[in-house]
Structure 1
Amino acid sequence: MSLKLRLLIIVTIILLINFAAAGYFMVQNGRKAVAAEMESSTQLARGLLINALPTLRFSNDLSERLTLIVDSVRHTRHIRAWFEDMNGRPLIGQEERAGFFNKPDAPDWFIRLMEPEAVAFRRLITKGSQSYGYLVVEADPSDGVNDVWIDVQMLFWLAIFFLNLILIMIYMALRQGLRPLDELSEALGDLEKGNFSARVDTTAVKELNPIQIRFNHMASVLEKTMAENHALAGNMLSLQESERRDLARELHDELAPCLFGIRVDLAEIDRIAAEHNLTEINEKVSSVKTITAHIQSLVRKMLSRLRPMTLDDLGLAEALRDMLHNWRDRQPEIDWEWDFHGDFSDLPDTLQVTIYRVVQECTTNCVRHAGASHVKVEVKRDSENVKVTVTDDGKGLGSKLVHGFGLIGMRERVTALGGRIAFDTEEGQGLQVRVLIPLKGD
C-alpha cells in the first residue's frame, strides 16, 4: 500500500470519528433541549388551563367553552390538547389524539433514537356534582425532533463536503511533496542505466533539499569519475594493444626467423648424417625438429592471441572475412552469414582490434556453448558510430547463467571506448549481441 493511500485512510478515519462524535453530542444535546422545551411548554399550558378552568362554572355551553380552552393552547409549540369523556373517548380535539401533533420529517429510527419522554397533564372537568370528562394536555416533541434532524442532516452534508475537501487538499499536498522522491527515483534509474548527467530539482521541497543536493553532488562525482575511468581505460587499452603489437612484431621478426634458421640447419645436419650413416645423430636431429616445430606452433598461437596478424596485413573487413571463412571450414554444419558496410580502413587501431575481438569472442561462444545452426555477423559504420551485431539461433543465455570472463572482457573493451553493449536473449530462442561504439577524435 502506498504512503499516500495510507495517510489518506488515516485522515479519513480520524475525520469520520470526529464527525461521528459531533453527531452523537448533537443528538444528546438535542434530546436534552427538546425535553427542556417540552417541560417548559407543558408548564405554560398548564398554567393557562388552570386559570381558564374556573370560568367553566359560569358558562351555559360547556362544550363551546371547552373548545375555546383547547383551541387556546393547541397552537402552542410542543403542546397538544383534547377533551375526552370518562371512558377515554376523545370528544374535542380528537384529530390530534392518534399521534404526533405534526408528524416529524425525520425517519422512524431517528425518532426512536431521540426517545422524547412523554409529559402529560390531566384535569377532571366537573360542574356541580356532575363529572363530564378529562381535559388532557400532552407535550408534542415533533418540532424539536425536526430541528435536531435538520441539524444532523446539515452536519452530515458539511461532513461530506469538508471530508472530500480535506482529502483532496491532503492528496494534492502529498503529491506535490512526494514528487521530488519520484524524480529522485527516476534519476537513480538513469544512474543505473549509465546516464550520469541525471540531476534533480532542489527547489521543490525544503525538507528534501539536503538529500537532493547530495544526490546531485554524487551524480557529478560519478560522472567525473566515469569520464576519467573511460579515459584511463581507453589509454590502457591503447597502451596494451601497442605493447602487444610490438611484442608480436618482435616475436614475428626475431624469434620466427631464428626458428626457421634452426630448422634449415637441422635439415642440413640431417642430410650430412644420412650420408655418413650417423644413426644416433639422425635420432637427435629428429627430436630437435619435433621440439622446434612445437615451438613454432606455440609462437603462432601467441602471435594470434597477442595480435591478429591478418588485421595488419588485410584490414578489418578482410580479417573478419578470413576469420569467418576459417569457422565455415572448421564448422560446416553451421550456416555462417556476414554483412559489412562502410569504410573501416581509417578507424583507430584500438577500435579495429576491439571490433575484431568482439566478433571473435561471439563466434567462439556460438560454436562452444550455443549449439547454434545459424550465425550472422553484421558490422556497419556511419558518420557517428560503428555498430556490431552478432546473432545466433542457439540456446541463449539462461536466467541462472553467470556471464563468463569472455562477456565481461567484451563489456570492458567496449566501455573503455565509450560504447555500449547489450545482450538480447531468451532461453532457448538464441542470443543477439549488439555493440555501439561512437566515433570520436583522439
Structure 2
Amino acid sequence: MSLAAEVNFDGLIGPSHNYGGLSDGNLASATNAGDVSNPREAALQGLEKMRLLVRAGLVQGVLPPLPRPNFDLLVSAGFGGSDAQIIEAAAQASPRLLKAAYSASNMWTANAATVSPSADTGDGRLHLTVANLSTMLHRSLEHPDTTAALISIFTGDEHFAVHPALPMHADFSDEGAANHVRLCAEHGATGIELFVYGRDAGESAAGFPARQTRLAAEAVARSHGLDAAHTVFLRQSKRAIDAGAFHNDVVCVGALETLFFHEAAFEDAPATLEALRRASEGLFAFKPVMVSEADVPLGDAIRSYLFNSQLLQFPDEDRLVLLAPSEVQDTESTRRYCEALTAGNGPIGRVEFVDVRQSMRNGGGPACLRLRVVMTEDELEACRPGVLMDEERIDELQAVIRRTYRDRLSPSDLADPAFADECRMAREELLRVLELEELA
C-alpha cells in the first residue's frame, strides 16, 4: 500500500452560469428556469468552498470552465457567418439551443469522469473515463473539451490513463462519478467500487429519465481493470429517480468505510448491504449509515441535498466531516437529523455548512461540484501543478472573476454577441492563472 490522498477537483464555475432549465428530472433546475443568475457570486462561492478545504489541510484541485458558447453545436445546427451572426440567428430561431451552447454545467465535475485509483486497477495506473452525458443535450457537448482538459492535467502514460467517452448511444448512457462510490480502509489501500445504474440497456420507463445504464458501468469497470470480487453494481430505485434524484449522489455519498444513504436510494436495500459486506470482506469493516424515511422524508432529502454533501476525512479528526449545503441547515428534518447524527458515536462526527446557493438553484450541491481523485505522491508530482490550489492561487482566481464576470445574467442576455467575447476573455485569464494556456 502506498501513501495516497483524496484530491477534490472542483469545477471552476464559468462566466455563463445561468438558469436555463435544461435538465429534465432536476427539480431545482426546472423550478428556477428563467431566473436571473449571478455568475460572479457563483464562482466566488465555489472558490470559498475550496478555500475551506485548503485551510483544513486537504489537497484541493480545480478543473477549468469549458469554452462557451459552444459554436460547434450552433454550426452543426445550420447557423453560419461570423460569431455575432451565429449568435443573433440562434437567438431568433432557437433560444433553447443557444442556452444549451452557453450552459456552464461542466461546473459539476462529479459528472466529468469516473475515476479508479491505482490501488484498484489492473495495471497500477490511475484511470479516468470521461462521461458521455448523452441523456441531456447541453451536457452531451462537454466530453471532447473535458477529455482535452484531463489529458492536460493528468499528463503521461506512466501514471495516468485517460479514456475517451463511451459511445454516444442511450445503451451506453454514462454520468460519471455522480453514480460511483469508492470505499476503502485508507485511500492508498485496495478498495471496493460501487457503480449505481438506473436501467439496463434497451430498457425504458415512464417518468424522469434514468441517466446511467448498467452496460456503461460495466464497460468502465472493464477498461479500468477492476477486480470483479471488489466491484459491485447496484440499481438505483425508480422511486428516488422519479422524486428528483437524477443522479445517485443526490441520495447517497460514501468515504473510507462509510456509506451514508437514504433508505430509498437503492431498489433493494437489504440486498445492497449484503453485496457491499461481501465485497469489503477482508479489506475493511463496512459501516453503513442508512437514513430512514421517518427521520428524513425523501422529498426533504432531495430539496435540501443532504446527501449531495462531501464526506471527508479532515486531518487530526477521528470521525468524518459532512460538508453540507446551507439548505440542510434551513430544512427542519435534515437539521434535526444532523444534530442527532453527530451527537451519537457513529462514523460521522461533524457537519459543516457551506453556501453554494447559486449552484444549488440549478440543482448542484457541494458533491456535484467536485470530482474525487485518489492520488499517490508520485501521481501528484506528475499532475499539472497550476491546478492544485493554495490560498494565493484562489485569491488570483477570485481577482479575475471579480474583474471579468457579470453579477447579473438572464437567459435573454445570451443573445448579446458581446457576451461571447466576455466569456472567452474571462476563460483565457483563468487558464493563465491555472497554467493551462494550451486549452485556450
Q: Relative contact order: is structure 1 or structure 2 higher (C-alpha 8 Å, sep ≥ 6)? A: 2
Kindly indicate which of the two structures has a greater share of residues assigned to helix. Answer: 1
